[in-house]
Amino acid sequence: MTAGIMLALLSLASSQITGDTAMESVEVTPKVEIVEIPSEFSVFRQVGCDRYVNVFGVHIFASPTTPEDKLSHAAGVLAQYFDNNEDGVPDNMLVLSHLVSRSVFIIMPGTEAEMEALEMDVIADAGYRFGQDLYGEETKPDFLVDGKINAPDGHYYDGALEEILHSITQHGYANAYPEVFGEKRGAVLAKCMDTARGGYFEKVPKGGPKSGYPAEAWYHYTDETCDYSCMVTEYIYWALTSILGTQDFPGRHEALEVEWELNTRELVKTGDAAVYKLLTDPQYKFPIKAPDGNYKPSAFPVTVVPIIAITDED
Q: What is the pLDDT of residues 192-235, one digit of tens each?
A: 999 999 999 999 999 999 999 999 999 999 999 999 999 999 99
Reference 240, options 258, 223, 262; nearest CA is: 262
pLDDT in the model for residue 239: 99
pLDDT in tens, 265-306: 999 999 999 999 999 999 999 999 999 999 999 999 999 999
* pLDDT exceeds 50 at position 8: no
pLDDT in the model for residue 311: 79
* pLDDT exceeds 80 at position 72: yes
pLDDT in the model for residue 313: 60
SS3 percent helix, strand, coil of the chain, rounded to 5, is 40, 10, 50
**What number is the average pLDDT over the span 6-20?**
34
In sign, the C-alpha dihedral spanning 148, 239, 74, 32 is positive
* pLDDT exceeds 70 at position 16: no
3-state secondary structure of 132: strand
* pLDDT exceeds 50 at position 87: yes
**What number is the average pLDDT over the span 184-196?**
98
Cα–Cα dist 73/69, whole Å: 6
DSSP 8-class letter at 283: G
Residue 207 contacts by C-beta under 8 Å, 6 or more apart in sequence? none
Show the beta-strand stretches assigned E in 222-313. 303-306
- Other C-beta atoms closer than 10 Å to the C-beta of 40 total 12
Rg for the chain, CA atoms, rounded: 19
pLDDT band at 314 (very low <50, low <70, confident <90, very high): low
* pLDDT exceeds 90 at position 190: yes
Reference 81, options 155, 167, 183; nearest CA is: 167
* pLDDT exceeds 70 at position 173: yes
Between 114 and 9, name the one with better pLDDT.
Answer: 114
* pLDDT exceeds 70 at position 1: no
Proportion of the chain above pLDDT 70, given as a percent: 92
- Other C-beta atoms closer than 10 Å to the C-beta of 272 total 25
Q: Give the HSE-up count for residue 195: Cα atoms under 13 Å, Cβ half-sphere.
A: 11
Buried b / exposed e over 205-229, threshold 16 CB at 10 Å, is beebebebbeeebbbbbeeeeeebe
**What number is the average pLDDT over the span 88-115?**
98
Reference 6, options 86, 95, 66; nearest CA is: 86
Q: Residue 177: left (phi > 0), alpha (psi -120 to 50), or beta?
A: beta
Cα–Cα dist 189/205, whole Å: 20
Look over the chain and give the mean of its residue pLDDT values, rounded to a whole number.
92
End-to-end CA distance of the chain: 34
